[in-house]
Structure 1
Amino acid sequence: MPWFTLERFDTSFFDTAPHRHRFRMDLPVTPASVWNGLAGPTPLSWCRGLAGGRYTSPAPHGVGTTRQITALGTLRLHEEFVHWQESEDSRRHAFCVTRAGLPLYRRFGEDYLVEPLPSGGTRFTWTFAYEPNPLLRRPAALTDLPGAAFLRTLVADTKRHFGAA
C-alpha cells in the first residue's frame, strides 16, 4: 500500500490552519489519568474510530517521538511529535502527521492540552488542525461536516470513557 508524505509544521499551525476544530472537555478524573490515556502505551484506545495506536520510538517520549494509528479502519497515519511538555500545572503534546495511507491532507495534526481544574478534575483541550491536499481543497471545504462529525465521536468516546456527563 502506498504512503503519501505530508508537510511538517510547528505548533503555530494549530492557530493558523485553514481548518481547525477545538474541543474543551471537563473530565471528572485526575490529570494523570487523562495523560496516561493519551501518552501511555495504547493511546486513545477508548476511541471506537481509532485502532492500533502505538509508539514506534522508544521511551522516554518527547519531541521527535513517532507513533502510528489507524482511523476509521482505513486511514493509516504516521505521526511525529513537535511539542511535548509535562509540568505540575499542565501537560501538553502535539504532533504532525508525516505520512498517510491516503492523499487527503497537505498537513494534519493534533494538539492535546491537559490542565487541572481548580475544583478538581481535568480540562482536556483537543485541537485538530489540517490543510487539505490542494487537489481536494474545494471538496474538503464541502465535506468538512462528515469529518467534524467523526471528531465529535472521538470527543463523545473520550467523555464516556472518563465518566463525563
Structure 2
Amino acid sequence: MAHRLRPVDAGFVESAPVRLVYAREMTAAPVTVFQALAHDVPGWPQWFSAVTLARPTDDGAGREIRLRGGTRFEETILLAEEPEVYAYRVDVTNLPGVRALAEEWRLAPVPGGGTRVRWTFAADGSPLFRAVLKGARSGLGRAFRDAVRTLDRRLAD
C-alpha cells in the first residue's frame, strides 16, 4: 500500500537520522554525468540495475521510479543545479516504515579530467526501517559502485 511521506527540503540530506554516503570517480566530465542524471531520466534502468522504470513527471519537476522487487517512488526534484548537484525527495512510496527519504548526487571535477560523484541516501523511518537500512549499507554501496561504473562505460560509448 502506498503512503505519503513527510516532505523534506534539500537540507535533509545533511540532517537525516540515517545518512548513507558513497563516492566514486568517473572519467566522464561533470556536465555529461549531470545530463545523464537529470535529463536522461528514462535511461536510468540501463545503468542502475536496481531501477526497472524511470520517467519524468510534472514537466520534469518530478519522477516516477520503480525498483526490482516492486518498490515504487513518486518523487519531487529538489535541486537541479548543472553541473554540480541533482537531488530529489520521495513523496509517495509503497516501502513500509519509511517517513522521509531524499537522495543527492553531488558532482565535482577531478584534476586532470573526470568527475567525483558523491551519492547521499538520507532517510527517516521506524526503528525497524532504520536498522534494516543501516544493515543494507554495503549492498547499497555495491549498487552505487556498479551503477557508476556502468554509467561511466555508457557515457564513454
Q: Partner of 1:17 in structure 2?
A: 16
Q: Residues 50-102 of structure 1, C-alpha deviation per residue, up to 9 Å, x if partnerless?
A: 110110122xx4xxx1101112331100000122212xxx4212111000023
Identity rate of aligned residues, in percent? 25
Q: Partner of 2:141 in structure 1?
A: 152
* TM-score with structure 1 setting the length: 0.82
> Alpha-carbon deviation of 1:158?
2.2
Q: Partner of 2:33 in structure 1?
A: 34
Query: What residue identity is the alignment partner of 2:121?
Result: F
Distance (whole Å) between structure 1 residues aligned to residue 134 and residue 81 of structure 2: 32
Distance (whole Å) between structure 2 residues aligned to residue 11 and residue 43 of structure 1: 24
> Alpha-carbon deviation of 1:44?
2.6
Residue segments in structure 2 that go unaligned for 5+ positions in a row: none
Q: Partner of 1:99 in structure 2?
A: 92
* TM-score with structure 2 setting the length: 0.85
Q: Residues 88-128 of structure 1, C-alpha deviation per residue, up to 9 Å, x if partnerless?
A: xx421211100002333100010111222121001111110
- 1:110 aligns to 2:118 (yes or no): no
Is the partner of 1:120 in helix, strand or coil?
A: coil
Distance (whole Å) between structure 2 residues aligned to residue 152 and residue 84 of structure 1: 23
Query: What residue identity is the alignment partner of 1:33?
Result: T
* CA RMSD after TM alignment: 1.8
Q: Higher mean Cα deviation, 36-45 or 74-83?
A: 36-45
* Larger helix proportion of the pair: 2
- Alignment match of 1:130 (pick from 93, 118, 123): 123
Distance 1:12 1:43, change over 3 A: farther
CA contact (8 A) 1:14 1:127 kept: yes
- Alignment match of 1:143 (pick from 118, 132, 144): 132
Q: Higher mean Cα deviation, 139-148 or 74-83?
A: 139-148
Distance (whole Å) between structure 2 residues aligned to residue 140 and residue 8 of structure 1: 18
